[in-house]
Chain A
Amino acid sequence: MATSTEPTWPADVFREIKARDIKTVCTIPDGGLTQLLKMVEADAGMRLITLSTEEEGMGIVTGQWLGGTRSMIAMQSSGVGNCINALGYPTALRAPCLMLVTMRGQWGEFNPWQVPMGQAVRPVLEAVGVKCFPVDRAEEVGEVFAAAADIAFHGQLSAAVLVSQRIIGAKGFGQK
């Protein structure tokens, strides 16, 4: 149950996941995904697959769809960079590939090492044919996720929801 200090968007996304019978979430975790991943892990009807690198997710979701199960990938923006060649794989097989990406290097980023990939996420995803759904208001994450999921599964396309760092909050490591 969300408390007053916890964001409510993870529960909104989880509700849309359940409504669409998505049964598997593949992940390399991110701080902003913590609550959602806990909900997935706690659900007896769902499977959380921890990856060693994000591009494995493109193979797993493709295999899951081939076998009749809906699945998705949840990752940090830096992970998108690991996936570019692999993103051609579900596209070639016309398999749906739904991604939930929590952004870094974008809004008040403290760590300059995150900025190059964070800024490149949308252009590189679009260059490889992924439909991007950026969202920067917490109360809209659930409905944006739902829209992306529907275009992915009904259109057999790749779609990425980009959750702004403005929603997640920048990690400041206690620095001013």
Chain B
Amino acid sequence: MSSAPASNKIQRRPFVADLLKLRGNALVVPGLGSPTWDIFAAGDSADYLYSWGGMGLAVPTALGIALAQPNRRVLAITGDGEMMMGIGSLAVVADQAPGNLGILVLDNERFSETGRQRGLTGSRTDLCAVAKGFGIPSTMIVTEHGKVGELAKYLFESKGPAFAVAKIAITEDPWRLPEKDGATIARRFRDAIAVASLK
């Protein structure tokens, strides 16, 4: 049984907010639960595909968008549990090798939404090593807020696929619940892409 990751200092809400300020026109695909609350708390945008379900599908969805929209940056932001559930999708990402896809795992080593039960990334499993093993050419690990600029450069500007892990603190954040109707979320997202492609 691993103890609480007291060494993790990054506060997820201001960290995600500062990262998104640097996204340019990147499309953002958050995993269900906390990452969705985090990005909505930082401000609403039609470029965000909020998620309320489909655990394990954040990276496959972002991959599908990235391949369909090669001229847009796409960022998947998810949690460690969601990433583990879809971990094989990193092999698919490596195989398809989209240059415009970034993946960020907010890793608090816990299943936050269900009561902070321990996850699998707190003791022996190293997500960056896993990603490298699947064939993602480069990875980045971030352990302090001050690296957010460097992280943004890596996720939004380097040749992808890019894979980063941010070790975040266990925090008590208020729920910030965005639109829940998937048809509305999808319609708005598609319209935003179509409008942008006309510019």
Contacts and interface: CB of A to CB of B under 8 A. Distances in A.
A89 B91 CA distance: 21
Interface string A113-157: 000000000000000000000000000000000000000000000
A143 B67 CA distance: 29
Q: What DSSP secondary structure best describes chain B's contact surface?
A: helix
A168 to B, nearest CB: 26
A95 B61 CA distance: 12
Given A85-B54, A86-B57, A93 B67 contact: no
Contact of B64 (A53, A55, A60, A91): A60
A68 B190 contact: yes
A89 B96 contact: no
A170 to B, nearest CB: 29
Size band of the interface chain A makes with B: 20 to 34
Nearest to B60: A59
A1 interface: no
Which of A24, A50, A71, A94 is the most central at the interface, judged by chain B CB atoms within 10 Å of its CB? A94
9 contacts: A57-B60, A58-B57, A60-B92, A62-B57, A62-B61, A67-B69, A91-B182, A92-B52, A92-B53
Given A56-B89, A66-B61, A92-B52, 9 more contacts: A51-B92, A60-B61, A62-B64, A63-B29, A63-B60, A68-B69, A88-B54, A89-B57, A93-B185
